[in-house]
Amino acid sequence: MKILITGSEGQLGTQIEKYCKLKDIPHTALTKRTLDITNKDQILQAIKRHKPNVIINAAAFTNVDLAETHEKLSHAVNTLGVKYLAEFCHDFSILLVHISTDFVFNGNSKIPYSENDLTDPINIYGKTKNKGEEAIRNITNKHIIVRTSWVFSSEGDNFVNTIIKLARKNDQLDIVDDQYGTPTSADSIAKALVKIIKKYEVDNNFEFGTYHFSGYPECTWFDFAEKIIKISYENGLISSLPKLRRVTSEDYKTISPKPKYTVLSCEKINKAFSIQSSKWKKDLYKQLIQN
């Protein structure tokens, strides 16, 4: 079993590569400079050269606000590039493991979203990711789509790193307290993906399809920020405690609309692969202590 990882320079791709190295899993990690998934010729050459059994697509245009003003680029990466990968995976009988998002939902639910709930994205990012999912389902049965949410790691631009940077410069931070989701560590996602792939390697009754994987329990951005600040201060990552002020989505205007509730139900992935939701507070503590 050999894995090809796209988007390996991103926070999730980086973690997947690290975990594959740790477990001595044969893999090839390609960045967007060494594999542009919007270029069909590059995909074909990468497949012929590396001969993967599995492609993990961690390549994505993930800047939600920037997607509103860069719709063509978001569509090219999140929809067209995914379509091209699906076509080649179908042609070469490769398992496509694709990372998607909670933002395919509109946020109007009051209970956790299941995989069977209808998608209805409210911003360009969510719409292009949703179309990428649809392309995969229409092209190849041999796929796993994993929707996740509020991803954080020690790498790149994410909420955790942003809050720590802001806390070092400001006495007060305004944090949205009416959007609910589930923070998820990139490390826990990488482990879940590898567990799925290992089952694929040996199980003739493997269940392809769409799955949710995210952290636990649900919280607001304010709750998340409060925990980040507490751990960071107690462990010397910040020298003082800024005041945190609760604000609404209407108070904190952004370029793109954000869904109010995108908590994901992870019952299906637990039943199929014995993968349980990760405890994000424990993962956050581990990440910040190690740094």
Give 232-260 pLDDT, tens digit per residue.
999 999 999 999 999 999 998 899 999 99
CA angle 59, 65, 75 (to 5 degrees): 45
Q: What is the pLDDT of residue 253?
A: 85
Catalytic residue among 19, 84, 113, 125: 125
- Tracing tokens 């719709």 back to the chain, one arrives at 71
**E strands present in the chain:** 3-6, 27-30, 54-57, 95-101, 143-148, 151-152, 172-176, 180-181, 184-185, 209-212, 215-216, 219-220, 243-247, 278-279
Domain assignments of the chain as residue spans, ordered by start: 3-157+185-217+263-278
pLDDT at 291 over 80: no
Calculate helix-pair angle for 11-22, 186-202, nearest 10 degrees.
Answer: 50
- Say how many CA atoms lie within 13 Å of 271 toward its Cβ: 7
121-138 pLDDT, tens digit per residue, is 999 999 999 999 999 999
Per-residue pLDDT reduced to its tens digit, 154-207:
988 899 999 999 999 999 999 999 999 999 999 999 999 999 999 999 998 899
**Residue percentage of the chain with pLDDT more than 90:** 96
In this prediction the pTM is 0.96
Catalytic-residue membership of 125 = yes
Distance CA 287, CA 274 (A): 24
- For the chain, the average pLDDT equals 96
Give percent of the chain above pLDDT 70.
100
pLDDT digits (tens, 9 = 90+) for 141-153: 999 999 999 999 9
pLDDT digits (tens, 9 = 90+) for 18-56: 999 999 999 999 999 999 999 999 999 999 999 999 999
**pLDDT given for residue 288 in this prediction:** 94
Is residue 75 within 8 Å of residue 128, measured between CB atoms? yes
The model's confidence at residue 84, banded by pLDDT at 50, 70 and 90, is very high
- CA 69 → CA 56, 123, 133, 261, distances in Å? 28, 11, 22, 24
> What CATH architecture applies to the domain 3-157+185-217+263-278?
3-Layer(aba) Sandwich (3.40)
Give 104's DSSP letter: G
Task: Establish whether the linkage from the previous residue to 183 is cis, with ω within 30° of 0.
Answer: no
pLDDT in tens, 269-284: 999 999 999 999 999 9
Mean pLDDT of 87-101: 98
* Residue 252: predicted pLDDT: 86
Beta-carbon contacts of 114 under 8 Å, excluding residues fewer than 6 positions away, are 212, 265, 267, 268
